[in-house]
Amino acid sequence: MKNNKTPAGKRPAKNDDQPLIDDIRLLGRILGDVIREQEGEPTYALVEKIRTLSVAFRRDADHGADRALKNLLKGLSAAETVRVIRAFTYFSHLANLAEDRHQIRRRTDIDRAGESVDGSLQTALARIRKAGIAPAAVVESLARSYVSPVLTAHPTEVQRKSILDAERGIAQLITQRDEIRQRQQLFAGRKDALTPIEL
């Protein structure tokens, strides 16, 4: 195994964020279709308008977009507000699922490259060995340590089982999509083996 190290939060040079961007766009499009189907075109158009104005303000510092967004939000009815909040909440959950999957992708790439990540157990043990600390000293130190896990749940994090099941299902579909991509890349690399040299 190589001793290359990748700092936590950094990615391998061969890896980029395009698969994450693709996943988020796909999930966003699907969510948009669901909003259109279940809430109607006016709700979809409203959510898109809010999204577009938000992006313009944040990315381009467009203060006109900021004013338009504030006016639009102030004019929403209670029912529209609930639909908009729900749409952005679902999008946030979907983006989190895509980010979780992307972290797994990155970790897999790092593992395949034989690299270790700063902050990982593998890196910590290598540093201990390099520092010349005897295994018995590590064991003795750990034996004197007291670890007490604290489990908490914020009230806003409570979700119905049906939502959690749906999120798990979506996460599995994203994983399957990655596996299909990997198989296609593997097959593309072996295409010449299937092509006769002479016909």
Q: Over 90: is that where the pLDDT of 154 sits?
A: no
HSE-up (13 A, CA, CB side) for residue 115: 19
Across residues 85-101, what is the average pLDDT?
Answer: 92
> Cα Rg for the chain, rounded, in angstroms?
24
Quote the CA–CA distance of 66 and 83 in Å, as a whole number: 21
Q: What value does the mean pLDDT take over residues 34-41? A: 95
- Choose the weakest-confidence range: 21-25, 42-46, 123-127, 186-190: 186-190
Q: Where are the beta strands (DSSP E) in 5-115?
A: 5-6
Q: How many helices (H) and strands (E) does the chain have?
A: 8, 2
Query: In the predicted model, is pLDDT for residue 77 greater than 50?
Result: yes
Torsion over CA: 127, 133, 138, 144 (sign): negative
Residue 6, beta-bridge partner list = 117
Residue 170 and residue 35: Cα distance in Å, rounded?
A: 17
